[in-house]
Amino acid sequence: MLVCIPNALSKDEVADFRRLMDENAWEDGRSTAGAQSAMVKSNEQLPPDSEVARKLGSRIVSALTSNPRFISAAIPLQIFPPLFNRYRAADGHHFGIHVDNAVRGDRLTGLRIRTDLSVTLFLSEPDEYDGGELVVEDLYGSHEVKLPAGDLVVYPASSLHMVTPVTRGMRVASFFWLQSMIRDAHARSLIFDLDVSIQALVERLGRDDPETVRLTGIYHNLIRVWAEV
């Protein structure tokens, strides 16, 4: 399941993020890559333990935990502290095909999570750069994602994916992982589809409609069956 979430951050928030990021030093992005990923990774990132990365990451987590569509798609149990990267055409940056590590640990907090879902939050407008598409492969083929600044995409961390070479300008993004309460990807997809349908019924019939109430009960009971907390 690949889900796009618009306006996770406002344009003003994105501008503030970019200003703060531009004021800080960047490092080789391979410092957070696994052995296989490091061989195909070429980009830069804010030092993960830096004050600015932690503060901006906390702002992202705060925004997402109050975003209904994100909660519906991810049903998050633990969110890894967001990281930040950039791909510059001048340096031929790209990230070849890879799969994310199954477990990620944060050395500052001691947090360890199973990476059920990967998240990319775009911090550059599409017209700022050429190339740089996130390409996610699944059973139905390859999907190219290049979203407006402030929008994000959630996709299975188990999927093969890549970032195509940036040939003009610079692509800036935040990326991170989360462990969902619903471990099974198929179950998580069904719950998301059910929630989307319920919200559409609420718009048409109201929250007090008996069938809407009944479906909402089914939604919560399915979470009770499948949730790991």
Domain spans of the chain, in order of start: 3-180, 185-226
Question: Does 16 score more than 70 pLDDT?
Answer: yes
Question: Does 218 score more than 80 pLDDT?
Answer: yes
pLDDT classification of 60: cutoffs 50, 70, 90:
very high
Selected residue with higher pLDDT from 48 and 38: 48
What does the pLDDT average to over 115-120? Answer: 98
171 marked as binding residue: yes
Residue with tokens 């996130």: 134
Q: Domain 3-180 is classified in which CATH homologous superfamily?
A: q2cbj1_9rhob like domain (2.60.120.620)
Question: Does 33 score more than 80 pLDDT?
Answer: no
Selected residue with higher pLDDT from 59 and 41: 59
93 marked as binding residue: no
Provide the whole-model pTM.
0.94
What does the pLDDT average to over 33-61? Answer: 89
Question: Does 107 score more than 80 pLDDT?
Answer: yes
pLDDT classification of 34: cutoffs 50, 70, 90:
low
**Residue % of the chain over a pLDDT of 70:** 97
